[in-house]
Structure 1
Amino acid sequence: MIAATRRWVRRYRTPFAIGFGVVGVTYVAANYVLGKISDARERMSSDRIARENLRRRFEQNQEDCTFTVLALLPTATDNILAELETERITFELQQQKAAKLARNGDSTHPSELGSGPPSVTDDDGRSMASFQSESGIHASQLGFPSALSTGEGAQDGGLAVPRAKKTKLQLWNDLKISAITRSFTLIYTLALLTLLTRIQLNLLGRRSYLSSVVSLATGGAEQSTISLENNDDDNPDQAYGNDFETNRKYLTFSWWLLHRGWKEVMLKVEAAVKDVFSALSPRDDITMQKFSELTLEVRKRVEGATELDRQATRWLQYLLPPREQEEFVLKESGMMTEQDASGSSYSGPTPLRRLLDETSDLIDSPPFSHVLTKLLDAGFSTLVDQKISQQAFKIPATPEVPNLDGLRITEVFDAKPVKLPIVLAILTRQAHSIGNGVPNEYLQSMEQVRDLEAFAAVVYSSNWESEITPMSEEGSTVFVAKEGPAGPEVVPALVDKVVTGEESVVDVGAASTFENAWGKAVENNEKATAG
């Protein structure tokens, strides 16, 4: 029996060997495949969680931008309202009217005017009453000195200082230019502040994310995941990278727009308003179509009449100071430390210098002018197509139509013309809504522009190498780019793997330059709109 078994085994030993080999190989291959599948599942799950965390962080960053704009806007608004004193001019007109009535033996208060047969004088009186009701500010609430009512002069150290008394026509012309310039300047300032804040906070948000990557790459195996969320609101270093002092100084440069840049914008807008609206008299009637066309003409003179002109317009001088003024800005804002004042310069390759240079490049890029035009479209549409048309001309909102090389006006229904002072009264009130409105409808309309979120996503996700390389020590890591999607709704690329040596540390995406990334974002946006 044993001998027969041996012979049988010897006879079939080759098939047995092959069979056991096949089973073993199958077992090993199965374990290998199952391991790979398990690793892939874990990788997909980890990537999905990381992507969702990063998306939430990006969205939170955009909300921070909104709150920052709302916090900074009142500073610029106060400066603009103090410079363009529309209510003061209105008050002087009221006092002139009151003085004239007093000479004629009529004790009627200017605010009570508006009854009686129509005349030029009655039109002026009704205009004053309209300004009080539309702007929501009564002359008695302004607290102007009594010298304004007499026009004789103001007291300075006990001496009467004579002041030039303007005619009623001059005051009306000043009122016209002031009311229009003020509301338009506030829209431009709001749009510029919105874009500047998006650039600043998204650049710092990118630094925060990449700081986590480099920290993991150089920190050993103690930390196995990258912190994508800031769960410690009391830790400023964790909020935007690990160089809190640099970030504070960088954010401080919005001081230039709030205290200097708006004035240059105002002068440019004022010159355009004077050229375009100079022919209009306060006694004239104006239609909605005419006011829309005049507004569009002002925009052409400020921004440019064609797409090429708008791309050639440079907004950098309004948003950031020249290099020789950077230390002045830091001193004025209280960010200049004793060490800085002792002679350190910001012209070298410091993190602050890199942030300012990249911000300048973004402001001078064609996508910036494109997004700014879209934001201004939204702001002026809210002012003209909604507030002016509905409150002054009593017509409903109408669909927007493209016109004149991309700048938009609205196709309006036939409406009865109204006196120019009625429109000026609406503009006077809307100036306060643009700068101090709660909620701010103008900021809300600008933030609904899809290109703004696309611009923020591209700023967040492009030029990663320029930020990563200075953050790592030479020879410790090497960073390579890899093909990845880019679009208006796509958040920045995720971390691929973190190792030292000559392997990839971060997947930064193929669109490593801002221009290429923005091109992909616009292309994807057009496809989504067409679909």
Structure 2
Amino acid sequence: MGYAVEVGSTSLRSMRNTIISRKNHQTMPPNQRSRSLLQRHRGKLLISLTGIAALFTTGSVVVFFVKRWLYKQQLRITEQHFIKEQIKRRFEQTQEDSLYTIYELLPVWEMVLNESNLDLDSIITQLKDQKNHTTREKSVKSIESSPLKTKAELWNELELKSLIKLTTVTYTVSSLILLTRLQLNILTRNEYLDSAIKLTMEQENSNKLNSRLYNWVTSWWSNPEEKMSDATAAKDTKMDGQEVYINEQAFLSLSWWILNKGWLHYNEIITNQIEIEFSGVNPRDTLTLEEFSSRLTKIFQNINSQIFQENNDSLLSIFLPKTSSEQEFLLSQTLDPEALESFHTNTLIFKQLINELTQCIESTVTSIVLESLINESFHFIMNKVGAKTMAKKKPGQEDQQYYQMAVFTMSIKDCCQEMLQTAPGSAHGGGVNEYLATLDSVQPLDDLSASVYSNFGVSSSYGFKR
């Protein structure tokens, strides 16, 4: 019984405490109740806030890196577009520079032609003097060992030399514009690529501190002889700006060879073919335009068969000196003594440029391009000579199909003069040489130039492998 009373009293006390607690809670102020609630759920609340903060932070970081990645991609695309446009502009400028160079070289070569017994104006002057008997008699008396030629002899000489000069101009100028395109595109590509390599190396070096440290540490146990050979090689390949400039100028001076020596090889072949085809045609003989074109076509075909035949180095000897003595003679004619002495101290770049140019000239593609230039020249000649010949018809001869060879001769002379025209300021927006403009627009020439300009698979002029 006593046990039951004790248990009952304990239950009564518990119930009383619960009631008192509830009363106290009901009478507790609101702020105290909130604090009590926060205290009880503080752990859950901290976990929730931490999760929200982490989620927000992660999202912000992800958005930041995504925006940064997109910005870098846009910047990379913009840079690539800028580089492509820069390469394109540089290429177009190089082709214009090539044309300007030809304009500058033509007067020089015309002087060489005139000094090589192909001065047609002097023959015209002698023909005019034939009309003045007094002048002729005085000349005969004053020149005992070389009397004046007869009118027929002068006309025959003018006929053959006009044809020889016209054809020689065709082959030489075609070769000269091809050579100039190859030279300038090789140099421009090397200059652009070397600049790009240097810029890339600077950017890479700025991000390779660890690599430098590694190289510094490993250099202590590397082979001393290997280090010495590497240093020697670096010293040998290093060239200052002046040496590079002289090497490049020596490379550009190769045009001197074709203007003073190489064209003579053309001239020998051309003279032989023209004498075979036209020596029996007198100035008074008549031909139709078709007959004249047929004879000239045969001459061009025979010349092409000799200079483009397989395993023949005649084309290379026209563009470049074959022996070291010929090369030394060329450099002595184009470089001043001080520059020549400096050139001989380091010829690395010159040799590399010569090797690349030689490979280009020896390629089948280059021969095809040169032949395309010559064919375009032939069409230009026939159009000009045909128009000039028909324009020389006298009144009442409009229906005449035949023309005297003398008329063709004068038309050839006028055409040749136009092909060598270099009006003042012509290279810089003045008068335009129609013949040069025609050759400059030949598509195979542009294709070859683009191929050389973009050929990054050859050795750099500064020793880098591309």
Identity, in percent, stands at 23
Whether 1:452 aligns to 2:449 is no
Contact 1:253 1:320 in 2 (8 A): yes
What is the identity, as a one-letter code, of the residue corresponding to 1:383? I
- Which structure has more RCO (C-alpha within 8 Å, separation ≥ 6)? 2
Contact 2:246 2:339 in 1 (8 A): no
Q: Distance in 1 between matches of 2:345 and 2:325?
A: 10
Aligned position for 2:166 = 183
Q: Which has the higher helix share?
A: 2
The alignment's TM-score, normalised by the length of structure 1, stands at 0.63
Q: Distance in 1 between matches of 2:97 and 2:333?
A: 25
Change over 3 Å in CA distance of 1:7–1:285 after alignment to 2: farther
Change over 3 Å in CA distance of 1:339–1:328 after alignment to 2: closer
Q: Map residues 343-362 of structure 1 onto 2, 5 A cutoff.
A: 344=344, 350-362=348-360
Whether 1:296 aligns to 2:297 is yes
Aligned position for 1:251 = 252
Match of 2:408 among 412, 423, 444: 423
Aligned position for 1:263 = 264
More moved, 71-80 vs 279-288? 279-288
Q: Distance in 1 between matches of 2:310 and 2:283?
A: 32
CA deviations 1:461-491 (Å, max 9, x no partner) are: 11444116x434xxxxxx6xxxxxxxxxxxx
1:223 Cα offset (Å): 10
1:315 Cα offset (Å): 1.8
1:422 Cα offset (Å): 0.8
The alignment's TM-score, normalised by the length of structure 2, stands at 0.71
Q: Distance in 2 between matches of 1:373 and 1:72?
A: 22
1:373 Cα offset (Å): 1.8
Contact 1:193 1:257 in 2 (8 A): yes
Aligned position for 2:277 = 276
Aligned position for 2:104 = 71
CA deviations 1:37-76 (Å, max 9, x no partner) are: 1111001111112221222122111111111110011111
What is the identity, as a one-letter code, of the residue corresponding to 1:199? L
CA deviations 1:226-269 (Å, max 9, x no partner) are: xxxxxxxxxxxxxx998111111111121111111122211111
Match of 1:89 among 109, 123, 137: 123
Change over 3 Å in CA distance of 1:378–1:34 after alignment to 2: same
CA deviations 1:306-326 (Å, max 9, x no partner) are: 9x7489674221111113311
Q: Map residues 134-149 of structure 1 onto 2, 5 A cutoff.
A: none
CA deviations 1:401-439 (Å, max 9, x no partner) are: xxxxxxxxxxxxx97221111111011122221112432
Contact 1:304 1:310 in 2 (8 A): no
Q: Distance in 2 between matches of 1:310 and 1:420?
A: 36
Q: Distance in 2 between matches of 1:65 and 1:183?
A: 22
Total equivalences in the alignment: 384
Change over 3 Å in CA distance of 1:153–1:18 after alignment to 2: same
Change over 3 Å in CA distance of 1:305–1:315 after alignment to 2: closer
Contact 1:80 1:186 in 2 (8 A): no
Change over 3 Å in CA distance of 1:14–1:256 after alignment to 2: same
1:297 Cα offset (Å): 1.0
Aligned position for 1:384 = 382
Match of 1:205 among 188, 196, 199: 188
Alpha-carbon RMSD across the aligned residues, in angstroms, is: 3.7
Contact 2:248 2:349 in 1 (8 A): no
Larger radius of gyration, structure 1 or 2?
Answer: 2
Q: Map residues 470-489 of structure 1 onto 2, 5 A cutoff.
A: 470-472=462-464
Aligned position for 2:235 = none
Aligned position for 2:363 = 365
CA deviations 1:165-218 (Å, max 9, x no partner) are: 655544433222101111111121111111111111111111211221233244
- Report the secondary structure of 1:283's partner residue: coil
1:444 Cα offset (Å): 0.5
Contact 1:252 1:333 in 2 (8 A): yes
What is the identity, as a one-letter code, of the residue corresponding to 1:459? V
